[in-house]
Amino acid sequence: MTAGWSSESRPSPTRLGPRRFEGQVALITGASRGIGLGIAKRLNAEGATVVLTARKPDALAEAVAEFPTGTALGIAGKADDPAHRAEVFDTVAEKFGRLDMLVTNVGINPVYGPTVDIDLDAARKILDVNVLGTLAWVQGAVHHERLGFRRNRGRIVSVSSVAGSTPSPGIGFYGVSKAAISHLTTTLAVELGPDIRVNAVAPAVVKTSFARALYEGREDTVAEAYPLKRLGTPEDIGAAVAYLASSDADWITGQVLTADGGLIAAGGTA
């Protein structure tokens, strides 16, 4: 028998401590499925009222229905649309009168192939949604007069990627956009302290529809490169975000927490 976990290993059962976010409001972009939904569920399980966004209203409504009544709200729209962002922030102000946590999770990667050949319009779209979109959500939260984000000692957590620190074949320009998010995180942390903490999580492959092409039909082979011998789950990332957003991380800002089952330490790439 070999040491370590088999590829069948599952994350340890979550043992939730005190409800760290009781009375708080969290906004999570891109949360009708995948990592965003995993984050929303964890913050909600720890007491937060959660506001979820996504483009498709039906899937968003189905996701909201998975939460205890009255503790989740969905607002459909495109993350890079200024009118949608304004609607979200105004609605949060009207319904809840506060915002405590902002999780900028939306990220797109519409192209696959060598970066040197990328269509520049596609590259612009990636930067618009992933980088400027992230910045715009932060601007909206920080500057909205009725959300009290600064007064509430607001916390921002952005979803970056290991592709932002290590060149990843086929998804190079997406990695460039994620590197920008990581640097945006450190820059904003310096500017927004001492009231607001800004951190990011950088996952390797997490089992969602976004990453399916990277592992479908060969999950065990892909997981072999990970010291922990399994791919990530939305719950893994939800736990990491909850830590960074909680008072347990009160002295932590400007950090990008790699959540990758050890992949990068082992010299791998996403």
Ligand X SMILES: NC(=O)c1ccc[n+]([C@@H]2O[C@H](COP(=O)([O-])OP(=O)(O)OC[C@H]3O[C@@H](n4cnc5c(N)ncnc54)[C@H](OP(=O)(O)O)[C@@H]3O)[C@@H](O)[C@H]2O)c1
Residues that bind ligand X (CB under 6 A): 30-36, 53-56, 59, 78-79, 105-108, 129, 159, 161, 203, 205-206, 208-211
- Reported as half-sphere exposure (CB side, CA atoms, 13 A), residue 59 has a value of 11
What order do you get walking across the sheet with 49-54 strand by strand? 72-76, 49-54, 25-28, 101-104, 155-159, 197-203, 256-259
The one catalytic residue among 112, 174, 226, 243: 174
Cα→Cα distances 44→22, 36, 74, 151, 242, Å: 9, 12, 14, 21, 10
| Residue 108 or 189 with smaller CB distance to ligand X | 108
Cβ–Cβ under 8 Å, residues 238 and 39: yes
CA gap 216, 197 in Å, rounded: 37
User: Rounded to the nearest whole angstrom, what is the least distance from the CB of residue 233 to ligand X in the complex?
Assistant: 10
User: Rounded to the nearest whole angstrom, what is the least distance from the CB of residue 99 to ligand X in the complex?
Assistant: 18
| Residue 48 or 106 with smaller CB distance to ligand X | 106
Cα→Cα distances 165→140, 172, 260, Å: 27, 11, 12
| Residue 53 or 165 with smaller CB distance to ligand X | 53
| Residue 78 or 146 with smaller CB distance to ligand X | 78
Q: Which parts of the chain fold into alpha helices (H)?
A: 34-45, 57-64, 82-96, 120-126, 133-143, 172-192, 219-223, 234-245
User: Rounded to the nearest whole angstrom, what is the least distance from the CB of residue 48 to ligand X in the complex?
Assistant: 18
CA gap 116, 123 in Å, rounded: 11
Assess whether 215 carries a catalytic annotation: no
Residues facing residue 53 across a β-bridge: 75
User: Rounded to the nearest whole angstrom, what is the least distance from the CB of residue 80 to ligand X in the complex?
Assistant: 6
User: Rounded to the nearest whole angstrom, what is the least distance from the CB of residue 204 to ligand X in the complex?
Assistant: 6
> 126: which 2 tokens?
């990636």
| Residue 23 or 169 with smaller CB distance to ligand X | 169
Q: Cite the active site residues.
A: 174
